[in-house]
Amino acid sequence: MSTKLEAKVYSHEGKEVSHIALPEKVFGVAWNPDLVHEVVVSMQGNARANTAHAKFRGEVRGGGKKPWQQKGTGRARHGSTRSPIWAGGGVAHGPRNDRDYSRKINKNARAKALASALSHKFEAGQVLFVDTFAFGDVPKTAQARTFLTALSSVEGVRDLGTKRANAALIVLHGRDQHTEMSFRNMGNVHVVSAKDMNPVDVLTYKYVVVAKPNDVLKALEARVSTKTARKAAAVKA
């Protein structure tokens, strides 16, 4: 008999307010490091700008004249001053901007990798569910920092408010201008909507903070569902 997954929901003041049932296909998936690595490398390659470019010896201007005669000088023989071992010469095996780093990612593989990464974080106690962030009419970074400090009182996330780099990934159901602007100036936090979540962001940041979890979980559950499962659900409906 499988155990239902549940999690505590906290207010932005760090106080427990309720519990929420979690979908097993999002937070109960086995850790698959090979799949996650494949998807992460593919996504990083697809995002690579590839602007670095070094010239070969044949592309560097000059060097057509032999620097000195082949024999009789006592020095090592050279044919061009644009050899890679010369200052001002070409670069051997340097980066080229004509190289393509992109890789095709299967949609189902990307969804499974996301579920595997979220499950891994949840098992490690690094996923926090917050009912809402109340910023009022004006977005304020100071208030956002106060919220993170208050949430640091929750057991298991003590360094949420003090970690300097890659502290938290804030997950929203949709666009929330006040929340996004409030956290924008904090270099250790990144705000993303549920439909834009990816394994790279989940693994980059130590904690995943889910705001308005009921709506976010529905969106995540729809994302990780395979095409076959969605068709079956549509038939049942």
pLDDT digits (tens, 9 = 90+) for 17-28: 999 999 999 999
State whether 23 and 134 are in the same domain.
yes
User: Tell me, what's the pLDDT at 226?
Assistant: 65
The mean pLDDT of 11-15, rounded to a whole number, is 92
State which residues form the domain around 92. Answer: 49-100
CATH number of the domain bearing residue 228: 3.40.1370.10
The mean pLDDT of 133-137, rounded to a whole number, is 83
Looking at 29-43, 111-125, 173-187, 191-205, which range is the least confident one? 173-187
Which pLDDT band holds residue 134 (cuts at 50, 70, 90)?
confident
pLDDT tens figures, 41-90:
999 999 998 899 999 999 999 988 999 999 999 999 999 999 999 999 99
State whether 125 and 232 are in the same domain.
yes
Last residue of a domain, one of 100, 127, 143: 100
197 assigned to some structural domain: yes
**Three-class DSSP labels, the chain:** CCCCEEEEEECCCCCEEEEEEECHHHHCCCCCHHHHHHHHHHHHHHCCCCCCCCCCCCCCCCCCCCCCCCCCCCCCCCCCCCCCCCCCCCCCCCCCCCCCCCCCCCHHHHHHHHHHHHHHHHHCCCEEEECCCCCCCCCCHHHHHHHHHHHCCCCCCCCCCCCCCCCEEEEECCCCHHHHHHHHCCCCEEEEEHHHCCHHHHHHCCEEEEECHHHHHHHHHHHHCCHHHHHHHHHHC
The mean pLDDT of 170-187, rounded to a whole number, is 91
43 assigned to some structural domain: no
Number of domains in the chain: 2
The mean pLDDT of 188-199, rounded to a whole number, is 94
The mean pLDDT of 100-121, rounded to a whole number, is 94
Q: Is 3 a residue whose pLDDT tops 70?
A: no
- Of 154, 128, 151, 150, the closest CA to residue 20 belongs to 128
User: Tell me, what's the pLDDT at 175?
Assistant: 85
State whether 206 and 156 are in the same domain.
yes
Q: Is 232 a residue whose pLDDT tops 60?
A: no
Which pLDDT band holds residue 228 (cuts at 50, 70, 90)?
low
State whether 78 and 149 are in the same domain.
no
State whether 122 and 69 are in the same domain.
no
The overall average pLDDT reported for the chain is 91
Q: Is 10 a residue whose pLDDT tops 90?
A: yes
pTM (predicted TM-score): 0.83
User: Tell me, what's the pLDDT at 102?
Assistant: 93
State whether 116 and 229 are in the same domain.
yes
The Cα–Cα gap between 124 and 39 comes to: 21
Which pLDDT band holds residue 176 (cuts at 50, 70, 90)?
confident
**Over pLDDT 70: what percentage of the chain?**
94
User: Tell me, what's the pLDDT at 1?
Assistant: 36
